[in-house]
Amino acid sequence: MFSNPLGDGAELRPLDPWLSEELLANIDRGRESIGRWIRLADAVTDSASAKAFLQDYAFKAAEDTGRIWGIWLDGKLVGGVLFRILDVPRGYAEAGCWLEPAATGKGLVTRAATTIIDWAILERGIHRVEWQASSGNTASIAVAKRLGMQLDGVLREHYLFRGRRDDIEVWSVLAPEWRR
């Protein structure tokens, strides 16, 4: 099985449908904090929805339009990174992440995101990688900054989620910037 060490007992691995119970347990441990900013906590609520979510990404991987990886810390799934959109012909990808509270503050998302952005740019020829985050999600914005991304702009009241409209910050890095 493919595994990429992230250091300090952490590793990055593909998150396949057969790992749906591990995903569900991960989301259950972080449901409140994950659900504060992204729909994943509402989408993965039981075994069937966890498997369907991962099966959707397996289809995206087969069609080369998206990918998902899990972050394991000391053998336990604690979060993940993904390309929600992977458009190789246009050279564009949108990356994202989630992490349960017990695993925060260790640099795991930054290291994992660096790994997948390297892959997208260096191996797949992606020119632009985008990162979108609610303006209130300071942890996600901090990751974008640590990745060397630039703020492209703010989509005002763009994201309707749980009855509120959040401003969305759009961050990006271009292939020539990443290679530096």
| pTM score, whole prediction | 0.95
CATH number of the domain enclosing 88: 3.40.630.30
Residue 163, pLDDT score: 87
Instruction: Dump pLDDT digits (tens) for 85-140.
Output: 999 999 999 999 999 999 999 999 999 999 999 999 999 999 999 999 999 999 99
- Domain holding 43, by residue range, is 4-179
Instruction: Dump pLDDT digits (tens) for 136-174.
Output: 999 999 999 999 999 999 999 998 888 889 999 999 999
Rounded to whole angstroms, the Cα distance separating 118 from 161 reads 31
- Count of domains forming the chain: 1
Residue 2, pLDDT score: 78
Instruction: Judge residue 164's burial from the number of C-beta atoms within 10 Å of its C-beta, 0-12 exposed, 13-18 middle, 19 or more buried.
Output: exposed
